[in-house]
Amino acid sequence: MRNILYILSATTLLSACGGAVTEADVLKHRTQRDSLKTAREELNATIAEVEAWLAKNDPELQRTLPTVTTIELRARPFAHYTEAHGSVKADENALLYSSTGGEVRRILVKAGQQVRKGQLVVDIDTDVLQSNIAQAETNARLARDVFTRQSKLWEQQIGSEMQFLEAKSRMEAADAQLAALREQLRNAQVSAPFDGVVDEVFPNVGDMTTPMQPVARVVSLGKSSIETELSEDMLTKVALGDPVEVHLPEVGDTLNATIDQIGQFINPNNRTFKITLRMENGSKLRPNQLANVRIRDMEAEEALVIPSRLVMENAKGRSYVYVLVDDAGVKKAKKTFVTVLSAQGGELMIAKEQGGLQGTETLIDQGARLVVNDQEVQLAKGA
């Protein structure tokens, strides 16, 4: 230190002296400059050694260093999911009507009751219709007898062909009328069209029904489908038979489904297309029930995946993380820029690229937002 002060003093005295500058003076100043640089380098090296010692041994200095935790970066599987909302569509969901209408005489089931195909649900008063059927049966028998007798006479060449054809026509017309009335009677009574559950019965006993008013609703709790809409960019990411997760928020359960149909029409208003999911609903699905759909549209077996909380952005919008490095025994934070490829559930898939992350680094987690590039840090206890 005394040598440095002596050189500085000498330089100051020389500068103060006037007179002509000689070559010897220039050479002398060059020598002084080189001596000062050498002394500065020696002094900086000594300071660095002292600071390194203090960083390891001075408790007060250690407390001023940012405390951080770390996580180890390793390649692992990663999947990305697209989420959408849909609604349940029952494959068999029928409103039942009486084809003729009439007074409700009996209600044979109640809401929530299981029914079999063909089981009578509501009994409609059809006395008038049954009376018409009885009259039609009489007319049909008479027409059949007349035709039988006319047929025998025609075989004996008695009577004209016209009489034979007229008798045949009357018999066929009577049979057709009787069949129509019987079909009308069958449709007048409200029966279950398939195995299912009675969801609702609309009229009460004594009410009058018309062919335009539904009498009951029967729903099958067998197979169901779910309809949802996806954005246009998903067209190349889904295929028939792809597995899909279906979450029922009201029930709090998750079921498995597959893509059964992919729509061929793009809605010009919102640029979406429809898909239909097929599933066995058991007793958990109801028509028009809301469902959340998760479709896996990307999967990687070996990917660099980090928590999204580790990634920050600079003023230019570039993403970066801090990597913990060892610089001659001193732990430092190194800013490393990254490229985000995909995001899912609080995790980011990072590109493996030159100058970026390679999958073997130690990343700074807690405390990352308190450090700057090349700053010395200390690990939290137990980290």
CA distance 23 to 177: 139
271-299 mean pLDDT? 82
304-319 mean pLDDT? 91
Ramachandran category for residue 159: left, alpha or beta (phi over 0 → left; psi -120 to 50 → alpha) = left
Burial class (CB in 10 A: 0-12, 13-18, 19+), 241: exposed
One-letter amino acid identity for 46? Answer: T
- Do 112 and 246 meet the contact criterion of CB atoms below 8 Å apart? no
pLDDT at 62: 54
Per CATH, domain 82-91+220-300 is 2.40.30.170:
yes
Locate the domains of the chain by residue range. Answer: 2-59, 66-78+301-379, 82-91+220-300, 94-218
Q: What percent of the chain has pLDDT over 90?
A: 22
Q: Which two tokens stand for residue 215?
A: 């009498």
Give the model's confidence band at 280: pLDDT under 50 very low, under 70 low, under 90 confident, else very high: low
> Residue 283: pLDDT above 60?
no
In this structure, of 56-65, 140-149, 211-220, the range with the lowest mean pLDDT score is 56-65
Look up the CATH number of domain 94-218: 2.40.50.100
Mean of the per-residue pLDDT values for the chain? 83
Q: Which helix (H) or strand (E) holds 110?
A: none
> Residue 303: pLDDT above 80?
yes
pLDDT at 19: 61
Mean pLDDT comparison of 20-24, 88-92, 181-185, 270-274, highest-scoring range: 270-274
- Rounded to 10 deg, the angle between the 161-188 and 127-155 helix axes is 160
Q: Which two tokens stand for residue 171?
A: 């018999």
Give the model's confidence band at 167: pLDDT under 50 very low, under 70 low, under 90 confident, else very high: confident
In this structure, of 20-29, 258-267, 320-329, the range with the lowest mean pLDDT score is 20-29
* Rg (alpha carbons) of the chain, rounded to whole number: 46
Give the ranges where 121-272 is alpha helix by DSSP (H).
Answer: 127-155, 161-188
- Do 218 and 194 meet the contact criterion of CB atoms below 8 Å apart? yes
| One fold for 66-78+301-379 and 94-218 | no
Neighbours of 166 (CB within 10 A): 14
pLDDT in tens, 33-83: 888 988 887 887 787 677 667 766 776 655 577 889 999 999 999 999 999
Strand 67-68 relative to strand 378-379, pairing: parallel
Mean pLDDT comparison of 54-58, 155-159, 336-340, highest-scoring range: 336-340
106-131 mean pLDDT? 82
pLDDT at 338: 94
Ramachandran category for residue 35: left, alpha or beta (phi over 0 → left; psi -120 to 50 → alpha) = alpha
Q: Which two tokens stand for residue 363?
A: 């990343």
CA distance 4 to 10: 10
CA distance 179 to 295: 54
17-37 mean pLDDT? 82
Nearest 5°: phi and psi at 363? -100, 145
Burial class (CB in 10 A: 0-12, 13-18, 19+), 119: middle
CA distance 194 to 189: 15
Neighbours of 124 (CB within 10 A): 24
CA distance 260 to 273: 14
66-78+301-379 sits in which CATH class? mainly beta
Q: What is the pTM of this model?
A: 0.53
> Residue 282: pLDDT above 70?
no
Q: What share of the chain is helix, strand, coil (3-state, %, to 5)?
A: 30, 40, 30
CA distance 347 to 146: 89
CA distance 376 to 364: 12
pLDDT at 161: 77
> Residue 3: pLDDT above 70?
no
pLDDT at 275: 92
In this structure, of 12-26, 80-94, 145-159, 276-290, the range with the lowest mean pLDDT score is 12-26
pLDDT at 68: 92
221-226 mean pLDDT? 74
Burial class (CB in 10 A: 0-12, 13-18, 19+), 121: buried
